[in-house]
Every structure is written in C-alpha cells, then in structure tokens.
Structure 1
Amino acid sequence: MITINTSDNKKVYFASDQHLGAPTTEASFPREKKFVAWLDEVKEDAEAFFLLGDLFDFWFEYKTVVPKGFVRVLGKLAEIRDSGIPIYFFVGNHDLWMHDYFEKELNIPVFHEPKEFTINNKLFLIGHGDGLGPHDKGYKRMKKVFTFPLFKWLFKWLHPDLGVRLGQYMSVKNKMISGDEDAKFLGEENEWLVQYCKKKLTEKHYDYFVFGHRHLPLDIQLQENSKYVNLGDWIQYFTYGVVDKESLKLKTYK
C-alpha cells in the first residue's frame, strides 16, 4: 500500500474522464487546453495527482506506436512528474489498452484495478469504476473480450491507421462520452458503484471510495465515517477532487 502524507499547505488532486479526442480531435482541443491550464495552476501546491482513467477517448499501444496527438497534456504531465510530483494513473474503459508507455516515458505508474492508498491517515479505495458492482453484465463480458490476450494480439496486427480509426469510431459510439444520457443520478439503490462501496464496507472500513466513469459529480455519505466520491468529468462538469489535511472535496474548474 502506498502512503501519502501532505506537507503544510500541500494537496492531493484527483481528476477523471477527460475523453480527449472525442468526438473529434478538433472538438476536444479546447477541453485539452482547459485541462492543461488546470494542471498548470494546481501543480503549485500539489503533493500528488491521481488520474482515474479515460484521459483519452481511445488509446492503444502498439510496440512502437501510440496514438497521434495530445502533446500538450502529455508534455504537461511529463513536466509535473519531472519536477518530482508523483502521478498515479488508473486505466478506464476507453484507455484500458494502456501498457507501459506512461511508465517508461513519463515515469507514471499505471494501475488496471482499484487500489488502496493511505492519504493523511485516511484509507482510500481508488479506481476508474467500470465493471464494478452488480449488473452491467454485458459490459463485463465485453471487457473480458477486450482484455483477453489473444484479442489484443490480433488487434495489434491491424495497421495503426486502421486500428486507431476503428477504435476511435467504436469509442465515439459509446454514449458515455456524451455526459448526457448516462449522467443522471439514479438513486443510491440503483447506483452500481454505491452498491459496490456498501458491499466493500461489509468486508473492511474505508474512509473514502474515489471513482470516475459515471460522468457525474457525486459526494455520498455511506456511513458516519465513510464517503463515496465520483469525480464527474471534463466534458460537461469540469470537476475534480482535492484532499487537504481535513477532507476530500469536489470542486469545479471555471
């Protein structure tokens, strides 16, 4: 388990679901610039950053090729990491084919499953959030196919121009990027991630569960000393999480 204790006036920042490249590279460019501006602003008091997936709307790492574009956000992440600030990346359902590019080029560890962290003596369970909780069996089956080694091996033999174009087409067809239809609060009893968190609490205490994926900023009290926080997105809400010595709060970047 990784432990982070913030120095005086330092904070830990969380963000998720930027979906850069959707619906087109040109259309997402203002959002990329806005996200980079946020990174540039908050790095001044950052102890660490957590990026909880779907930074890109599609990402596939061939052995010697990665998708074209996103140089501003990649450059800013490299700058922040080179300055000594840790960054932790959790893959989402749109960038689940991430391999070791971030680790080798940017020195940013990549996690494919939720992971426990201790931050300022509080226990966090952190992840993207896709495929967790009850139901959504269709997506869970699809994820097993997409992460199956044979499927990835076959896909990499597509020429990158064809493979990336196909992947982008399939990603844009996913309604989750829109921030509209799926980003409606369903009530605690119908929110799968809420149900997942409540089940985890029967096994072990967590002070905070932090996830993305839902494209909806949520701050839900599960128990007296336990919260579920969803980070929203950078399509419609431009929300992020910040941890100081006292608590985790959701904020909006204007």
Structure 2
Amino acid sequence: MVLQTKIYFASDQHFGAPTAELSFSREQKFVAWLDEIKQDATALFLLGDLFDFWFEYKTVVPKGFVRVLGKLAELRDSGIPIYFFVGNHDLWMNNYFEKELNIPVFHDNQEYTFNGKTFLIGHGDGKGPGDKGYKRMKKVFTNPFSKWLFRWLHPDIGVKLAQYLSLKNKLISGDEDVKFLGEENEWLVQYAKRKLTFKHYNYFIFGHRHLPMQLKVGENSTYINLGDWIGYFTYGVFDGEKFELIEFKN
C-alpha cells in the first residue's frame, strides 16, 4: 500500500469520565481533532477506551457521545476507513459500530503493512508478563455467561454500577500520576521484545498505559504508546516514512 496522505492513531479518550459534564470539553476537543485530520487522513485507528464504559444491550446503548459518534460517521461516510480496537473499558462492544457506522471492531491485536512497514496494533491490556489479577478478571468479563447476566440488569442500574467501578480506577479519577516504570517493568515493552523473537515488526502501537512513549525495542523496531485524551491529548501519525507522536493543541 503506497500512502499519499496520512494514517492517524488515537487511544484512551474515556469519554463519560469522571462525569458527562466534565467529559464534555474533552469530547469537543476530540471532535475538533477529527475535523482537522479529515483533510488528509488515509485511515484512522482508534485503539480502545473511547468510552469509559460501554455495553450493548440488544436494543439499548449508553446515551450521550452524540457529537463524537456523529463525527466518526461523517468521516466514515466520506470514505475514510476507521478501525476500532476494544479496550478494557469498552470490551463489551459488539456490532453496533459495524452496523451503524460501518466501522469494524477488533477484540485483539491485528497486523498491517503500510508502505512496506509492518505494524502490530491493539489496545494492549492483558499483554506481556505480570498483571495476573487483571488477566483473570478479563476472562470473567469476556465470558458469554457474564455478559448474559449483566444484560439482565436494567440499564439504569447496570450503567450506574459500571461507571462507579470504572471511576475506582485511579488513572481515570485523576488521583495518580502515570509514570514510566523503566523498560524492564513496562509489560508492553517486554511483550514487544518477545514478539520480535518470532517475527519482525517495524512498529508496535498500543494504548492502555495513558503515557506517550516511543522506545526502540529492536533493530528497526519501535514500541509506541499513544498516551491519552485526559491529560496528554496525544495522537500518532504515520506519513508513509516515519511515525510521530504529537500533542493536539486547540
């Protein structure tokens, strides 16, 4: 694939947190960014946790986020491909995006090649060594029986409960700074290095950590974390030759 313009990447917006009112200004900023990139975007990758909570009942989805969803629909209708990777906060996403917005949804990493450069792309949760407690919890949450049980809660109860539990996450409530732990303690860095023992990738692109990072993990191989849209407002762009992390200032 020969690029004429640019591929954009963003992750961890967590819209709806800590409240719909306080999230609104961040949503407006993200919509402004989407408006800006539509001028030269070849594709857009959203790497999860767009929402702080998302659950698709058979006939109901969480209310709100109209401007964001409308802008994504506008970009997609204009012919720009959009790819969505579920995160740990919106892992209960099914086919709403696919049916309503024509946006494919992925539940695990995917491989791509652009301009001869190979990419491994995903949200990043549950990858690499450590974090065994979360990995066990993820198995519970992604179990079809667990989703079936939750579906029986009235949305007013289920959404409120999920939002409360989500805000217990200190990264979202703002009670904890995100700090670089050193390469040996960054699980996604270790994950990338291990993947390189089996296959070469030029770029590993993930979210989840909320911390913008670009680290060499091998010869001609770079691990990138996209940061977030809570404190950093960073995004990635690949122009066919190089990948950059950029802060959106508006």
Q: What band does the TM-score fall into relative to the shorter chain?
A: over 0.9
Aligned to 1:241: 236
Q: Is the 8 A contact 1:124 1:210 kept in 2?
A: yes
Q: Is the 8 A contact 1:122 1:207 kept in 2?
A: yes
Report the secondary structure of 1:116's partner residue: strand
Aligned to 1:228: 223
1:81 aligns with 2:81: no
Aligned to 2:16: 21
Unaligned runs of 5+ in 1: none
The 5 Å alignment of 1:126-145 reads: 126-145=121-140
Q: Is the 8 A contact 1:178 1:235 kept in 2?
A: no
CA gap of 1:178–1:194, structure 2 versus 1, over 3 A, is: farther
Separation in 2 of the partners of 1:180 and 1:218? Answer: 21
**1:52-107 per-position Cα deviation (integer Å, ceiling 9, x unaligned):** 00000000000000000000000000000000000000000000000000000000
Aligned to 2:170: 175
Separation in 2 of the partners of 1:163 and 1:128? Answer: 24
- Give RMSD over aligned pairs: 1.0
**1:161-184 per-position Cα deviation (integer Å, ceiling 9, x unaligned):** 111111111111112324663610
1:6 to 3, 8, 15: 3
Q: Is the 8 A contact 2:114 2:240 kept in 1?
A: no
Aligned to 1:204: 199
TM-score after normalising by structure 1: 0.96
Identity between Structure 1 and Structure 2 (%): 76
Q: Is the 8 A contact 1:232 1:240 kept in 2?
A: yes
Separation in 1 of the partners of 2:165 and 2:67? Answer: 24
1:34 aligns with 2:29: yes
Separation in 2 of the partners of 1:46 and 1:91? Answer: 21
Q: Counterpart of 2:38 in structure 1: which amino acid?
A: K
Aligned to 1:70: 65
Q: Counterpart of 1:165 in structure 2: which amino acid?
A: K
1:187 aligns with 2:151: no
Aligned to 1:155: 150
**1:102-132 per-position Cα deviation (integer Å, ceiling 9, x unaligned):** 0000000000001101111111000000000
User: What is the CA distance between 1:5 and its match in structure 2?
Assistant: 3.3
1:54 to 49, 53, 59: 49
User: What is the CA distance between 1:209 and its match in structure 2?
Assistant: 0.1
Aligned to 1:111: 106
Q: Counterpart of 2:87 in structure 1: which amino acid?
A: G
165-174 vs 49-58, greater mean Cα deviation: 165-174
Aligned to 1:90: 85
Separation in 2 of the partners of 1:62 and 1:51? Answer: 22
Q: Counterpart of 2:51 in structure 1: which amino acid?
A: F
TM-score after normalising by structure 2: 0.98
Unaligned runs of 5+ in 2: none
Report the secondary structure of 1:23's partner residue: coil
